[in-house]
Amino acid sequence: MYIVSIVGAHNVGKTMYCESLIRRAKSDGFKVAAMKSSSSSLDMESTDTKRLMNAGAEHVVFASPSETVLFLRLDAPAERLFDRFHLYPDLLLIEGYKSGGYPKFLIARDESDLNLEVQPETVKAVVCPAALHTLANRTYPQALLFDAKDFEPLYQRLRELYIEQYASNLPDKDCRKCGFTTCEDYANALRRGEAKPGGCPRIEAEVRVSVDGDELVLSPYPRRVLSSVIGSLIETLSGVPVKYKSIDVLIREPSA
């Protein structure tokens, strides 16, 4: 999953850019998720849902015929939230979250919009009027600059960042199962748009272990051992899909 934050001052059009990028990525075949980051809670103080939360419920579900919303008392990085619910999009667009360390596309209308409290090195693209390009380049020298009308080039920048992340995780095994002679050949074909992600069957599995909510740092060897042992055990059980995407195991000690 490649994560990018769409950031900017109030009313610069962040939601519009998120909408457009989502539609364009979907048309390109990507699985896309979106997240709205806010410093304040939802304006729902008088609702029954909020009353249930204020009563102390850890989880509250609002359900209607058209939608279901789950409220959690939980603060976690975006990728952990999606893992928790077994959601595995290719792209996650976050509207806001300028304080986070994720890559960012910054939207600006005037000079004051460029003075955003962000880590400058995380800004990968700046969308602003051409008159601001010189100042934007000085403020965010590593970012590519786009005019407000340059939507397709901005999307191609997003696609390029995703492809580069995927290509950088190829294992250099040269097993040819992707249809190319070497991993580098496959990576170059991805960059040229002549191949699609998902062709490598040997990208190392992601393994995470948390104890009482604290994630452990795993070196490559225990990561591979855990993946192999647990995967082999689960595959002996009936009803397990042949091409499963993830395995979650929860071990909770009984109360004393």
Q: pLDDT (tens digit, 9 = 90+) per residue, 148-203? A: 888 999 999 999 999 999 888 888 888 888 899 999 999 999 888 888 888 887 66
Domain ranges within the chain, ordered by starting residue = 2-37+55-160, 205-251
Tokens of 85: 């619910």
Least confident of 30-34, 85-89, 188-192, 252-256: 252-256
Tokens of 176: 């040819």
Predicted TM-score (pTM) of this structure: 0.74
Amino acid at 125: A
H-helix or E-strand containing 93?
strand 91-95
Q: Which of 56, 102, 60 is nearest to 77 (CA)?
A: 102
- Residue 254 confidence (pLDDT): 76
Bridge partners (DSSP) of residue 107 are 8, 127
Judging by DSSP bridges, how do beta strands 91-95 and 32-36 pair with one another? parallel
- Confidence category of residue 47, pLDDT binned at 50, 70, 90: confident
* 2-37+55-160 maps to CATH 3.40.640.10: no
Tokens of 21: 């990028």
Q: Cα–Cα distance between 73 and 195 in angstroms, integer?
A: 42
pLDDT in tens, 5-24: 999 998 899 999 999 999 99
Helices (H) and strands (E) counted in the chain, each on its own, are 7, 10
Q: Cα–Cα distance between 72 and 5 in angstroms, integer?
A: 22
- Confidence category of residue 128, pLDDT binned at 50, 70, 90: very high
